[in-house]
Structure 1
Amino acid sequence: MATDYDAPRRSETDDLAEDSLDELKARRSEAQSAVVDVDEAETAESFELPGADLSGEELTVKVLPKQDDEFTCSSCFLVHHRSRLAETNGDRYICRDCAA
């Protein structure tokens, strides 16, 4: 098919201006769909239910004991480096996050 490059081009706004109101309403109703395409089996596999049997799972993270330069915050119970120590009350250590 030959194309006449000298002919004026029509844009989408020109097409919309010439369309009748009934045609526009019909297009809008055709474009919108209330049906959602969801694969229920795939969605169900991504959820982990409470009480699921995890006896076959292996721990893949290497856990290290608390080091000499670390402390356990008595408020949030997280292990922090000594540089994060905010205050000490006897045997109670508080990190900077909990002290703020």
Structure 2
Amino acid sequence: MAQDYDAPRRNESEEPSEDSLEELKARRNEAQSAVVDIDESDTAESFELPGADLSGEELTVKVVPKQADEFTCTNCFLVQHRSRLASGSEGHEICVDCA
């Protein structure tokens, strides 16, 4: 039989009391009647990011093609410098992080 370790413990000598359905419902309602205090100033719209407003800006990134001294790791697919190539990779170019 499964043991519920979160349930309140009872003594073995204590006989289980048969509560009425109304008492059980009242206990459940008392346990669920926690009041949540919601502060209107805690909404996500009130948070401001540091710095300027970037809503009207476009970010531009210059993409540089893979250089002659770089390789693409066949495991993580990151472009790495040749100095990060693991030795003994048997035809597969694998970086030292993935080796």
Q: TM-score, normalised by structure 1?
A: 0.44
Q: TM-score, normalised by structure 2?
A: 0.44
Structure with bigger helix share is 1
